[in-house]
Amino acid sequence: MTGAGGHAGSGAWEERGLAASYLEQESVHCECCGRMIVRLAWVSDGKLFCEPECARVYRSYLLPRLERN
Amino acid sequence: MTDAVELTLLGNRLASICREMGVAMMRTAYSPVFNEGFDFVCALFDREGRMVAQAEYNPSMLGAANFAVRWALEELGADAFEPGDAWVHNDPYRGGCHLPEHMLLRGLFHEDELFGFAATIGHIAEIGGMAPGALAGDATEIYQEGLRLPPVRLMRAGEHVGDVWKILLTNHRTPKLTWGDLHAMLGSLALAERRVDELLAERGVAGLLAATGQLIGRSEAWMRRELARIPDGDYAFEDWMENDGITNERRRIAVNVHVAGDELIADFTGTDPQTRGPINATYAVAASATYNAVFHLTDPEIPRNAGCYRPIRIIAPPGSLVNVRHPGAEIGGNSETHCRILGTVLGALAEAVPERAAAADGSSGCNFLFGGVHPETGEYVAHYHFENVGWGGAASHDGNDAQCAPLAISRNVPVEVFETRFPFVTRAFRLVTDSGGAGRHRGGLGTERLLEVRARSLSVSALFDRMLIPPSGLAGGLPGGTTGIAIRRAGDGEFRLFTEAFGTVSPSKFSNVEVHEGDLIRLVSSGGGHGDPRERPRADVLADLRNRYVSREAAAELYSLEPER
């Protein structure tokens, strides 16, 4: 992966999201791309991501923009 | 390791299986939206849910095909799939594009070992909900839009799961059509199973998985080479939805397209919050529209599998117009908002690759829905009708006339089929003079259709956009015409907007208006022009005049054509 650069950082897969219960209507979303998390979230620095790639894009692209604005 | 030639042949064979799945569906489905409109997609996946091949059917479902399968797999687990099972799922909050699009999914086994999955996604024309045809222009939550199904088995070991079928058919207004269309989809999956099994008999599960892995890697590398040709940078653009059917406020879609090396990020931060009305897009729609835009600008020969999607990333804030949260209404997000998201990404990239960009297109499905009893058969009929639009002029050519908005490849339903199935007479269907934006390369023309009601009463709904905000021109080209829906009621002398005739809030988005025998409904679609119209070659303007694509007045005023002496 050469694109936006950066690294995914450390993290771990945790069971979260929609598949846990049909009684819950509130969805859980990736901190970076906004995608709904179905069953497994990549948890890194206390934030939920749908995959390690999103953690990388969050650090290299989104976070610097959010801090600037 | 499979060599390059053999890999190409394999990729083509897999794509052919997907095409054949579509042909089978087209030939056996009951409703015109399938067998005439081609509103479906067919794809194959490996056992991890990675797409290995896809046919060139409906681009609006590109994202759904990727996400709906992967998410269903994640939710259910691969162990849930048994030979002879088929699962159905239409939940927009689980990777779908909008509620009418039902995904049927089947595991592909060889000697009891799972290779992967075959999936079709098709638009079921009638799914219950507040308005016949489902696309209610003034719905305010998903529960009004039709029956929502999480992934559930429709077939178990080759047998119908009767309870699910009963629930489904009881909640649709035209159950026979649903039955026929779902069986066309099941037939398509059975065909895929046979064809992939032939391949598996030649290569074995491990061999085919290894080769499809290579195919995915090759597509990814190809797409990365294409993206690397786009200059690095941040390209911003915004466009507007004219209203949401509930209030008449415009809604903003903003994008920053970040290109860095061989990767592209479409970041929709700054887009307006989700609306009460049904123009909200799901994440899969935002993704589909972004992929669609990038595919417009890159090599069309790249095999469509998981690899070509991988370098394209989408950031869509939850709770916004481009990533609706439960229970927001979403049915127009796919047909209308997809078009605007696509146009917004293309608008941003026009700065980076002007030689490949086009002016804005008609970008509305011009969705016209109706339901009622057919006077000749006594049967309840319902239909989802869409109009074609003009495409934007590009740096090298005029825009296409009367073509489905670029979210789809759908064909329109022939007049003869329409009149045979539904209680209307088509009084006119023609290109609209001057509807293409003037330019060095003219925008494509839209159409006008006049439909006379031939039933005592019908309930009609509409979900249009571009009725108030025309498609913009590019590089000095002028805007194209607007879309429209109007009615001339029996005994009235003139066409009126539905706001005037029936008091709807929006002229372009409403539901369940009752029309009667003799009423005449006018549907108009419109693309923007590219380049200074005064630079259009005289011979092209004269040809436009002869074909009545351009009026004498427009030729003189916009193209500076001097009258012949």
Residue B563 has pLDDT above 80, yes or no: no
Reported as a pLDDT band with limits 50, 70 and 90, residue A1 is very low
**Cα separation, B453 vs B456, whole angstroms:** 8
Mean pLDDT over residues B174-185, rounded?
97
pLDDT top residue among A5 and A50: A50
The answer to whether position A4 is within a domain reads no
Residue partners of B54: CB distance under 8 A and separation at least 6: B15, B18, B41, B42, B43, B44, B62, B65, B304, B305
Residues of A numbered 10-69 whose beta carbons fall under 8 angstroms of chain B's beta carbons: which are they?
Answer: 18-19, 22, 25-27, 29, 32-36, 38-40, 53, 57, 61-62, 65
From the list B74, B264, B317, the residue facing A34 with the nearest CB is B317
Confidence of residue A2 (pLDDT cuts 50, 70, 90): very low
Angle between helices B162-171 and B175-228 (to 10 degrees): 90
Q: Is B232 on the interface with A (CB under 8 A)?
A: no
Beta-carbon separation of A65 and B269 below 8 A: yes
Q: How large is the ipTM?
A: 0.92
Rounded to a whole number of angstroms, the distance from the CA of B443 to the nearest CA of chain A is: 35
Q: A39: which chain B residues are within 8 Å (Cβ-Cβ)?
A: 74-75
Q: Which residues pair with B496 in a beta bridge?
A: B487
Instruction: Compute CA B174 distance to the chain's CA centroid, rounded to the nearest angstrom.
Output: 22
Chain pair A-B, CB pairs under 8 angstroms: 74
Q: Is the pLDDT of residue B545 over 70?
A: yes
Which of B271, B252, B278 is closest to B314 using CA atoms?
B271
Beta strands B312-315 and B263-267, pairing class: parallel
CA distances from B490 to B368, B455, B493, B518 (A): 20, 13, 8, 5
Average pLDDT over residues A33-57: 94
Please give the residue of chain A at the shortest CA–CA distance from B313: A33
Q: What is the structure's pLDDT at A6?
A: 65
In Å, how far is A2's CA from the nearest CA of chain B?
6
pLDDT of B297 above 60: yes
Residue A48 lies in a domain: yes
Q: Is residue A46 part of a domain?
A: yes
Q: CA of A30: which chain B residue's CA is closest?
A: B318
**Distance from A36 to chain B by nearest Cα, in Å?**
8
A6-43 confidence digits (pLDDT tens): 666 789 999 887 666 777 778 899 999 999 998 899 99
CA-nearest of B520, B485, B484, B460 to B133 is B460
> What's the rounded Cα separation, in Å, for the pair A36 and B283?
8
Interchain contact B309–A (C-beta under 8 A):
no
Domain holding A40, by residue range, is: 12-20+27-68
Q: Give A-chain residues touching B71 at CB under 8 angstroms.
A: 36, 38
Q: In this structure, is residue A31 part of a structural domain?
A: yes
Q: Residue B324: phi, psi to the nearest 5? A: -70, 145
Lowest-confidence range among B113-122, B199-208, B278-287, B525-534?
Answer: B525-534
Name chain B contacts of A52, Cβ cutoff 8 Å. Answer: none
Measured CA to CA, the distance from residue A25 to residue A30 in angstroms comes to 16
Give the residue among B279, B277, B278, B282 at the shortest CA–CA distance from B91. Answer: B282
Number of structural domains chain A divides into = 1
In the predicted structure, residue B60 carries a pLDDT above the cut 90 = no
Nearest chain A CA: its distance from B306 CA (Å): 15
Q: Is the pLDDT of residue B185 over 80?
A: yes
DSSP assignment of A27-68, as one string? --B-TTT-PBP-SEEEEETTEEESSHHHHHHIIIIIHHHHHH
- Burial label for B231, CB within 10 Å (0-12, 13-18, 19+), is exposed
SS (H, E, C) B68-107: HHHHHHHHHCHHHCCCCCEEEECCHHHCCCCCCEEEEEEE
Q: Which three-class secondary structure state does DSSP give residue B307?
A: helix
Q: What would the pLDDT profile of B474-486 be if each residue is shown by its tens digit?
A: 999 999 999 999 9
Q: Flag whether pLDDT at B520 surpasses 70.
A: yes
The HSE-up count of residue B244 (CA atoms within 13 Å, CB side) is 26
CB contact under 8 A, B267 and A62: yes
* Closest-CA distance of chain A to residue B444, Å: 35
Residue A3 has pLDDT above 50, yes or no: no
CB B415 within 8 A of CB B519: no
Q: Which residue of B has its CA nearest to A24?
A: B326
Q: Is B265 on the interface with A (CB under 8 A)?
A: yes
pLDDT given at position B406 = 87
- Give the whole-angstrom CA distance, residue B509 versus residue B260: 40
Rounded Cα gap, residues B333 and B97, in angstroms: 8
Mutate to test the interface with B, among A38, A40, A59, A68 (most CBs of B within 10 A): A38
- Residue B64 pLDDT: 80
Cα–Cα distance measured from residue B267 to residue B258, given in angstroms and rounded to the nearest whole number? 8
Rounded to a whole number, what is the distance in Å from the CA of A5 to chain B's nearest CA? Answer: 8
Q: According to the model, what pLDDT value does residue B526 have? A: 75
Question: What percent of chain B has a predicted confidence (pLDDT) above 90?
Answer: 91
Residues B522, B502: Cα–Cα separation, whole Å: 15
pLDDT for residue A4 is more than 60: no
Determine the Cα–Cα distance for residues B245 and B330; give it in Å rounded to an integer: 12
Structural domain contains residue A34: yes
Q: Do A61 and B267 touch (CB under 8 A)?
A: yes
Q: Would you state the pLDDT for residue A69?
A: 79
Report if residue A61 sits inside a domain.
yes
Taking the Cβ of residue B514 and every Cβ of chain A, the question of whether any pair is shorter than 8 Å is answered with no
The Cα–Cα gap between B417 and B293 comes to: 32
What's chain B's average pLDDT? 95
Asked if residue A62 is part of any domain, the answer here is yes
With 90 as the cut, is the pLDDT of residue B471 above it? yes
**Per-residue model confidence (pLDDT) at position A27:** 86
User: pLDDT tens digits for B370-417?
Assistant: 999 999 999 999 999 999 999 999 999 999 999 998 888 888 899 999
For residues B206-216, give the mean pLDDT: 97
